[in-house]
Amino acid sequence: MNDGTRINNDLRTRRESALAPSYQLFYDDPVHLVCGEDVWVTDVDGNQLLDCYNNVPSVGHAHPRVVAALAGQAAQLNTHTRYLHEEVVRLAERLGSMLPDGLQTCFFVCTGTEANDLAVEIARTVTGQHGVVVSEHSYHGNSSLVSLLSTDSYPAALRPDWLGVIDAPNDYRGRFRADDPDLNGPDLADPDGGDLGERYADLVTIELDALNERGHRPAAWLVDPSWDSNGVLVAPDGYVEQCAQLVRAAGGLVIADEVQSGYCRLGNDFWGHTSYGLVPDIVTIGKPMGAGHPVAAVVTTPEIAAAFAERRSYFNTFGGNPVSAAVANSVLDVIEDQQLLRNASAMGIRLSTQLTELAARHNVIGNVQGGGLFWGLDLVADRGTRTPIAYDDGRRLATELRHDGILIGLTGPHTNVLKIRPPLTFSSEHVDRLVEVLDVRLAKFELRGGSERRQPSAES
Ligand SMILES: Cc1ncc(COP(=O)(O)O)c(C=O)c1O
């Protein structure tokens, strides 16, 4: 047994007795990382792995400017939002200036969950309505309120009556599909039909009616513009605008959960929602904002913030502390100075081309979906039926890729979508390396016929 294996075994045993069993580890033989630099991480045995999975270290692992901002402010002062502080105000002003007109008033919190929890509380308080509309198989966080909005996390039978759940707009695997000339059956809400975006948006009308019958009107539609937990989706034209219009007509607000899609991730713009021409009422921000440091935010209009403040006070001990604000400001500085939006856009084009070519060589890739530096490869046992590969096959593939030096993940309702979501500093060289490794590994996977061993199951 080498030193690394012994250290890992010991640490794992201690972890199992000291940490709650709720915590899961990636991989059966867990990765024990000891340091990181840019898009590379190093494990306890000294193996270097290309990080194709982690968006939290948005500007790369251990970025020297972020480390310096954190250390500098920590060495000077750390308090909270009840004292004046330049870094905190500057961060709020910067976020406001980067969002569409009107979205300029900030609340600071520590996690994406807290941001969504507060956003929904604001929407309920301001509208006087209680319902919330989310997607099937959504994930928005884990507080007692937000876990109910995370439909991937608990059985449908336990959904509260104020929750409206709509299909995610998956044009490859969903009930309406891009390649279906009849768009897959009658449009329930509109017998005259409509395009793909309209078909999916019509499901909002149906769900709002159902909510109404249960005695609720919507306070908000909470949407992740990358549909990460659905396998990383791009919504059909018109979908987002129509959903927003329907919810607003029923008196609700639109909350864009930018925890995944924000900070240049989708390559078109700094925010995910702008790709859809949407101006939300509330935006929530988390993960990439502190490049690994826990800082998150809710941004809304002065009017909504004022209406909330009339009825509720809000304070968060750690939310908006000067160290977190200094870190978040340094992340924005790096994004600007290293032109990481431009990089996400260029690497998105490179990935799009290379992943499409990869799909032409490997039948196991049923669909390539996403944009910028956020992609999903929907892996199938059979392209004709779109049957997802088996869960165990997906896990084995991710493990093999880890041994090939690639950190990658799986997502989607069937856990069959290979998720590519690296730090924003991912370069051409890294794209080429990833695709080269995938090419070899997928060929071996197909040769082995891994997916033939799966149990047949119904497709969604
Ligand atoms: C879209 C989305 N929203 C919110 C959250 C919750 O963020 P946190 O884990 O920081 O509470 C997540 C976490 O994965 C997420 O993916």
- Select the more confidently predicted residue: 448 or 272: 272
Query: Is residue 138 domain-resident?
Result: yes
Question: Ligand 1: which of 260, 265, 282, 298 to mutate, judged by most atoms within 8 Å of the beta carbon?
Answer: 260
Tokens of 438: 């995938």
Q: For residue 454, what pLDDT band results from cuts at 50, 70 and 90?
A: very low
- State residue 188's pLDDT score: 56
- What is the residue with the minimal CA distance to atom 4 of ligand 1? 140
Per-residue pLDDT tens digits for 410-432: 999 999 999 999 999 999 999 99
Same domain assignment for residues 283 and 174: yes
β-strand partners of 382: 387
* Helix spans in 298-452 (H): 302-311, 322-337, 340-361, 391-403, 428-448
Of the residues 320, 337, 354, which one is the last residue of a structural domain?
337
- State residue 452's pLDDT score: 43
Same domain assignment for residues 48 and 90: no
Same domain assignment for residues 163 and 267: yes
- State residue 117's pLDDT score: 98
User: Of ligand 1's atoms, which has the minimum distance to the CA of residue 116?
Assistant: 4
User: Of ligand 1's atoms, which has the minimum distance to the CA of residue 114?
Assistant: 11
Total domains in the fold of the chain:
2
Query: Pocket residues for ligand 1 (CB within 6 Å)?
Result: 111-113, 116, 139-141, 224, 228, 257, 259-260, 286-287
- State residue 187's pLDDT score: 55
User: Of ligand 1's atoms, which has the minimum distance to the CA of residue 138?
Assistant: 1
DSSP state of 33: E
Q: For residue 95, what pLDDT band results from cuts at 50, 70 and 90?
A: very high
Task: Please measure the distance between the N-terminal and C-terminal CA atoms of the chain and give it in whole angstroms.
Answer: 45
- What is the residue with the minimal CA distance to atom 13 of ligand 1? 141
Of the residues 322, 337, 352, which one is the last residue of a structural domain?
337
Tokens of 265: 């991730």
Same domain assignment for residues 54 and 110: no
Same domain assignment for residues 296 and 402: no
Q: For residue 232, what pLDDT band results from cuts at 50, 70 and 90?
A: very high
Q: What is the mean pLDDT of the chain?
A: 95
Q: What angle do CA 389, 411, 150 make, to 5 degrees?
A: 130
User: Of ligand 1's atoms, which has the minimum distance to the CA of residue 294?
Assistant: 10
Same domain assignment for residues 319 and 417: no
Query: Is residue 351 domain-resident?
Result: yes
- State residue 450's pLDDT score: 61
Residue with tokens 């396998």: 231
Same domain assignment for residues 268 and 368: no
Same domain assignment for residues 401 and 269: no
CA of 456 to the centre of ligand 1 (A): 32
CATH of the domain at 313: 3.40.640.10
Whole-angstrom distance, CA of residue 60 vs CA of residue 332: 13
CA of 191 to the centre of ligand 1 (A): 37
Question: Ligand 1: which of 24, 113, 152, 295 to mutate, judged by most atoms within 8 Å of the beta carbon?
Answer: 113
Same domain assignment for residues 329 and 351: no
Per-residue pLDDT tens digits for 15-61: 999 999 999 999 999 999 999 999 999 999 999 999 999 999 999 99
Sign for the CA dihedral angle at 63, 67, 73, 76 comes to negative
Per-residue pLDDT tens digits for 386-396: 999 999 999 99
Per-residue pLDDT tens digits for 115-165: 999 999 999 999 999 999 999 999 999 999 999 999 999 999 999 999 999
Q: For residue 280, what pLDDT band results from cuts at 50, 70 and 90?
A: very high
- State residue 181's pLDDT score: 74
Q: For residue 3, what pLDDT band results from cuts at 50, 70 and 90?
A: confident
Tokens of 399: 């493990």
Tell me which residue range forms the domain holding 120: 64-337
Q: For residue 457, what pLDDT band results from cuts at 50, 70 and 90?
A: very low
CA of 109 to the centre of ligand 1 (A): 13
Question: Ligand 1: which of 140, 143, 284 to mutate, judged by most atoms within 8 Å of the beta carbon?
Answer: 140
Whole-angstrom distance, CA of residue 182 vs CA of residue 274: 30
Helix 302-311 to helix 112-127 angle (10° resolution) is: 80
CATH of the domain at 370: 3.90.1150.10
Same domain assignment for residues 314 and 180: yes
- What is the residue with the minimal CA distance to atom 15 of ligand 1? 140
- State residue 221's pLDDT score: 99
Query: Is residue 460 domain-resident?
Result: no
Query: Is residue 366 domain-resident?
Result: yes
CA of 115 to the centre of ligand 1 (A): 9
Query: Is residue 459 domain-resident?
Result: no
Q: Is residue 192's pLDDT more than 70?
A: no
Query: Is residue 45 domain-resident?
Result: yes
Q: Is residue 2's pLDDT more than 90?
A: no
Query: Is residue 458 domain-resident?
Result: no
User: Of ligand 1's atoms, which has the minimum distance to the CA of residue 229?
Assistant: 16
CA of 239 to the centre of ligand 1 (A): 23
Query: Is residue 391 domain-resident?
Result: yes
- State residue 449's pLDDT score: 78
Q: Is residue 456's pLDDT more than 60?
A: no
Same domain assignment for residues 382 and 424: yes
Of the residues 337, 361, 382, which one is the last residue of a structural domain?
337
Q: Residue 12: phi, psi to the nearest 5?
A: -65, -40
- State residue 451's pLDDT score: 46
Same domain assignment for residues 266 and 129: yes
